[in-house]
Structure 1
Amino acid sequence: MEKVLDVMMLGRVRFHELTMRGRVVLSQLPFNVTLLLVCLIAAIADPSVFTDVGFVMSQGLALVLLGVCFALPWDRLAYGLFLIIPVLDFAPIGILHYSNEDSLRGLGLLAVFPIMWLAGSGYRPRIMVPVGGVAALLIVWVPLFVDGTATPHTLAAELLVPFMLFTIGLGTSVMTLSAMAQQDRVEELLRRSETRERLLDTVLETVDVGVLVLDAEGQNAFMNPKQRQLYVAAIPDGVPTDKEEELLIFREDSDVPVPPGERVLGRALAGETVEHEVFRLGRGAEARMVSISARGFDDAAGERAGTVLASADVTDVVAAVHARDKFLAAMSHEFRTPLTNILGFAELLQDDSTLSTAAKSDLQIMMRNAHHLSHMVEDILAASLTGAEAAAIRLPLDLAELVRQAGDSSGREAAGRAITLSVSTDGPLPILGDRTGLVRVLDNLVSNALKYSPSGTTITLTSAEDGPWAVCTVRDEGLGIPPEDLKRVFTRFQRSDAAVRSGIPGTGLGLALAKEVAEQHDGELDCTSEVGVGSVFTLRLPLRTARSRRTAEV
């Protein structure tokens, strides 16, 4: 009963939250309360109505129906059976209207209560709305037939009120059905939302990636188990702390904690997007290497709603990469020493005048293959260098001079293959770079052109200034690269099918390493090619003056 009163007083409880009995009682109460008001008006306007049998009978019947609403267990009865109450309400209304219409005007309008109940129930509206309209019509027509005054004129005169009540019921039914459809849609969306929320929670609890969600104020809104595990690794001395600056967070190759302003959390809260930056959490054997990404997200209104951090534990991956690099470096060094000895003794043997022509030919084959193997070892060694080993000292260089030297060093091999090597440089091209790395790039580009060019063709090696860039191009008239292979030409260990079928030796590392060196110099290396026509490799490096201007601007 308290909930019913709360609904009537527009409190916190809503109609659909009541039990079926509570809803039935609440639907009947307005009618009984209005009948109570009728009694108060009758006491003032015409007290004699209290002696009228019809008046007393209608009031008593209405109270009985209210008692039935309280008494019956509507929750256990078939749904829709409760509509018998508004149908029976027409009985006391009809009796009251017939016996007291002369002294109390407008009693027939009481039929609006059962009509709205029938129409507003949403249960079989095509039946209930007409039932309400017919019942309202009978309330005003039956007395005419009982009194014998029913004529076409008197019947027509009583049509307005029943029709108005019918249209009220029709409008109520339309609004009720619309509200019910919207409620069903809302409930469906809520079920879907809850299902998605449970799915998301399950995914976040299952994935092997730490996820941290912060709200718009930077407060912790969600942290999955993996993130808590990584957080524990960063806690100093195992003592939990809420201060980000106290966590043990280091760069990959440093033992100095990352300054607060450079940590991902602060940068992300400031609006920066972070992509896969590697940090070390904690010290010692329990330290974890993590790759952290972070970005903000907006709400439906486009306002900043929070920030998401994703932390992937890459400890094992980093360890495996380091182990691989050490292995490759060790193996490359182990190969280099015997190869150097083989090449050295082979060069000494070349000067031996006692060797026969056949022996010298065999010696040339041995030296050629030893040189090829030496180049492969150099590529593998270069690929194995990471971190501090790959950091080169940038010195003032002239790219045009490096291009001329590359042409000179490859001239003998080009002549031996009956290939014309044309070198053209357009003045000095001052750059800052690592001589060893850039020489390797140029030698690799020219060597590739020689390997894939047939005899009688021309390789053109040029250098020129193009705005802020020093540009070097290597153009050949060789096999060319198919479009499907051109997309992967700078991928490590990638070789085109044509090169493999032709039996041309190679590791598939040279171009990948050349592109990495170009990018380390803030430059670019790209390629265009046409099968059967040839390829053009273009190296772009910042001119020293352009680099200085950019540095000054920063």
Structure 2
Amino acid sequence: MAAANSLPATSPADNAREGDEGGLVDNRTRSIWLLQLVLAASVVVTVLVVQAMEPALFGVWTFSTGVAIIIALTAICLAVPWRRVPREYIALVPFGDLIGVSFLVLQSDLQFGYFWVFPVTWIATYFALPALLGAFAMVAGVIVLDATLSGPDTHDVVRLMVVLLALAFIGLTTYLAARQSRAFRQLLRRQAGRLQGTLSRVSGQERRVSQMLNGLDTGIARLSRAGEVLALNDTYVSLYAIDRDDPKRPGRSVEYSALRGDPLAELDRPFARAARGELFEDERVWLFDTEGEWHALSVSTRRLMPAGDEPESTLLIVHDITALIEAERARERLAAVVSHELRNPLTAIMGHAELALEAEHLPAKTREQLEVIDNAAERMQTLISEILAGSRAEARDHTAASSTDVRRILDASVESFRPAADGRRVRVIVDAPPSLEVRGDAFRLRQAVDNVLSNAIKYTPGGGSVHIGARAEAGHAVIVVADTGIGISADELPRVFDPYFRARTARESSTPGTGLGMGILRTIIEEHRGTLQLESEQGTGTTVTITLPAERGA
């Protein structure tokens, strides 16, 4: 029985799992019962036939003993709680059947030798090769013993060889088939494990993507070309008050073309348009939600190309820009209030300057200074009018470009800031041709030059200098303002055009500022289709280069 101890991983003990603990019969017991009862039933049928046709066989003690062994093993199989029996002991049953069949075979001219097929097949199917070879050895020994007891005979030798070879063929074929089946099952289990792992990873990725989308404050809906809802994130569901159990039903929130305007028709709603596959960008609608609140929405769509088995779909993206709209309105209200309040003192300044200029016998220097004050007040009045008119771009739509002399703009700007430069002991040097024409808005270009020159004077220490020059170059007018001021560090240069940004050196100085001048400068230059270049080194100075298209023929 040494061979029986080398059991493979699969046997009736492992053929089915130890589960089914709650049932009356577990899978292991059921498997053993089935294998044993097939042999027992065959033996019982044979016994009945023998009793009817050749009852004398019951007088042969080996026959009766073999039948008794098989019946007894069957009864034991039905009584033993196999789920608690170590699996190596299961091999005792088919080897016991071999012994029982061997008793049937002895002194019967191998008439019952075919019953060996049952235990041999059982062993070949569920046990290791050494167990099968042990079974063959037992069968061969019994055949040799039977031939010895009955005397040598050529006919018996042939029968012995046929039976042994047939059993060997059946056993080995069954063993190889079972081994292949086990390997195939193991392969299937590995593949199933990999598939389950892949499925788990994909499911995990889908959950993470879903969690990320639900964490966004942007509403997202994915729609098929047939208009079917494929996915919705929490923000979209919340905005439109959609029932998650029935996402096909329209949300309870209503879309309008404008604030307190007309409701959008069903076919004009962004959802319906996206379902038709329409592509649009940053279209504005107003949403009235179930809590009585208005939301300004910016809606866009993106086309998602098909991937794998998934068809082409459309992504509907909804941004709630209510806070942005309210902030813009608050800014406009503030600008209107501030601009209105500035008009009163400016009116007084302009009025008194004009009255002073009408006086006779004014010294030339005083008259010149009063004219500078009056001109500056007029420019301020124009700027305030622009602010009240709305955004700067809208305010300039009605302003027609004209031929403008850059030299006159430079001289006027320098003259305006001359007192400030003298007060800070900063030399301002102008180097420009007598005339350099560009096509543009003289007021806006003066504003740009003022911003650059003002910064250059403010951030240049006493004893420093500001050089402002202009030249014609390849069909362009180039304005260069270079100072010997405190400069800007290299890592801060990319941010100087951001609204309200001030470099560290500017913040550390005692000079006040808003951080808006450079942004306004860039806007003006872009309006004139020009370019702006800024070079600076901390502690050395800053150079601003403005390039504008020159007037044709200039």
Deviation at 1:330, TM superposition (A): 0.8
What pairs with 1:461-540 in structure 2 (closer than 5 Å)? 461=470, 473-478=478-483, 479=485, 480-516=487-523, 521=527, 523=529, 526-531=532-537, 532=540, 534-538=542-546
In structure 2, the CA distance between the partners of 1:228 and 1:429, relative to structure 1 (3 Å rule), is same
Deviation at 1:509, TM superposition (A): 1.1
In structure 2, the CA distance between the partners of 1:197 and 1:353, relative to structure 1 (3 Å rule), is same
Aligned to 1:223: 232
Deviation at 1:510, TM superposition (A): 2.1
In 1, distance between residues paired with 2:405 and 2:54? 120
In 1, distance between residues paired with 2:548 and 2:141? 106
Task: Tell me the percent identity.
Answer: 19
Could you tell me which of 324, 333, 345 is aligned with 2:340?
333
Aligned to 1:458: 467
TM-score, scaled to structure 1: 0.62
What do you get for the CA RMSD once the two structures are aligned?
Answer: 6.1
Could you tell me which of 122, 129, 133 is aligned with 2:129?
133
What pairs with 1:365-380 in structure 2 (closer than 5 Å)? none
In structure 2, the CA distance between the partners of 1:515 and 1:489, relative to structure 1 (3 Å rule), is same
What pairs with 1:100-179 in structure 2 (closer than 5 Å)? 111=120, 132-146=128-142, 172-179=181-188
The answer to whether the 8 Å contact 2:346/2:377 transfers is no
The answer to whether the 8 Å contact 1:449/1:475 transfers is no
In 2, distance between residues paired with 1:282 and 1:306? 27
In 2, distance between residues paired with 1:96 and 1:541? 112
In 2, distance between residues paired with 1:88 and 1:425? 120
Letter in 2 for 1:281: L
The answer to whether the 8 Å contact 1:414/1:420 transfers is no
Deviation at 1:497, TM superposition (A): 1.7
In 2, distance between residues paired with 1:380 and 1:29? 102
In 2, distance between residues paired with 1:115 and 1:381? 102
What pairs with 1:46-65 in structure 2 (closer than 5 Å)? none
Letter in 2 for 1:393: D
In 1, distance between residues paired with 2:551 and 2:241? 48
In 1, distance between residues paired with 2:73 and 2:389? 95
Deviation at 1:482, TM superposition (A): 2.1
Could you tell me which of 213, 220, 243 is aligned with 2:222?
213
Asked whether 1:393 is paired with 2:401, we answer no
Deviation at 1:203, TM superposition (A): 6.2
The answer to whether the 8 Å contact 2:452/2:544 transfers is no
The answer to whether the 8 Å contact 2:101/2:112 transfers is no
Deviation at 1:508, TM superposition (A): 1.1
Q: Secondary structure at the match of 1:218?
A: coil
Letter in 2 for 1:301: G
Aligned to 1:314: 321
Deviation at 1:290, TM superposition (A): 1.9
In 1, distance between residues paired with 2:386 and 2:131? 97
The answer to whether the 8 Å contact 1:445/1:474 transfers is no
Deviation at 1:494, TM superposition (A): 0.7
In structure 2, the CA distance between the partners of 1:390 and 1:256, relative to structure 1 (3 Å rule), is farther
For structure 2, list consecutive stretches of 5 or more residues without a partner in the other structure.
1-15, 58-62, 147-160, 422-426
Q: Secondary structure at the match of 1:337?
A: helix
1:175-231 deviations in Å (ceiling 9; x for gaps) = 444443443444445455555655666666676543322235331233355424433
Deviation at 1:473, TM superposition (A): 4.5
1:422-447 deviations in Å (ceiling 9; x for gaps) = 4469987667xx77656544543454
Asked whether 1:180 is paired with 2:189, we answer yes
In structure 2, the CA distance between the partners of 1:213 and 1:85, relative to structure 1 (3 Å rule), is farther
Q: Secondary structure at the match of 1:401?
A: strand
In 1, distance between residues paired with 2:497 and 2:416? 25
For structure 1, list consecutive stretches of 5 or more residues without a partner in the other structure.
1-14, 118-130, 234-239, 545-554
Letter in 2 for 1:218: G
Q: How many pairs were matched up? A: 485
In structure 2, the CA distance between the partners of 1:139 and 1:202, relative to structure 1 (3 Å rule), is same
In structure 2, the CA distance between the partners of 1:516 and 1:91, relative to structure 1 (3 Å rule), is farther
TM-score, scaled to structure 2: 0.62
Deviation at 1:105, TM superposition (A): 6.6
| Bigger mean CA offset, 384-393 vs 471-480 | 384-393
| Bigger mean CA offset, 258-267 vs 178-187 | 258-267
In structure 2, the CA distance between the partners of 1:172 and 1:529, relative to structure 1 (3 Å rule), is farther
The answer to whether the 8 Å contact 1:529/1:536 transfers is yes
Aligned to 2:5: none
In structure 2, the CA distance between the partners of 1:482 and 1:96, relative to structure 1 (3 Å rule), is farther
In structure 2, the CA distance between the partners of 1:254 and 1:136, relative to structure 1 (3 Å rule), is same
In structure 2, the CA distance between the partners of 1:374 and 1:435, relative to structure 1 (3 Å rule), is closer
In structure 2, the CA distance between the partners of 1:204 and 1:176, relative to structure 1 (3 Å rule), is same
In structure 2, the CA distance between the partners of 1:174 and 1:538, relative to structure 1 (3 Å rule), is farther
The answer to whether the 8 Å contact 2:255/2:285 transfers is no
Deviation at 1:505, TM superposition (A): 3.9
Aligned to 1:281: 287
Deviation at 1:106, TM superposition (A): 10
Q: Secondary structure at the match of 2:298?
A: strand
Asked whether 1:412 is paired with 2:415, we answer yes
Q: Secondary structure at the match of 1:477?
A: strand
In 1, distance between residues paired with 2:266 and 2:518? 38
The answer to whether the 8 Å contact 2:223/2:275 transfers is no
In 2, distance between residues paired with 1:410 and 1:395? 21
1:114-143 deviations in Å (ceiling 9; x for gaps) = 6655xxxxxxxxxxxxx5323212211123
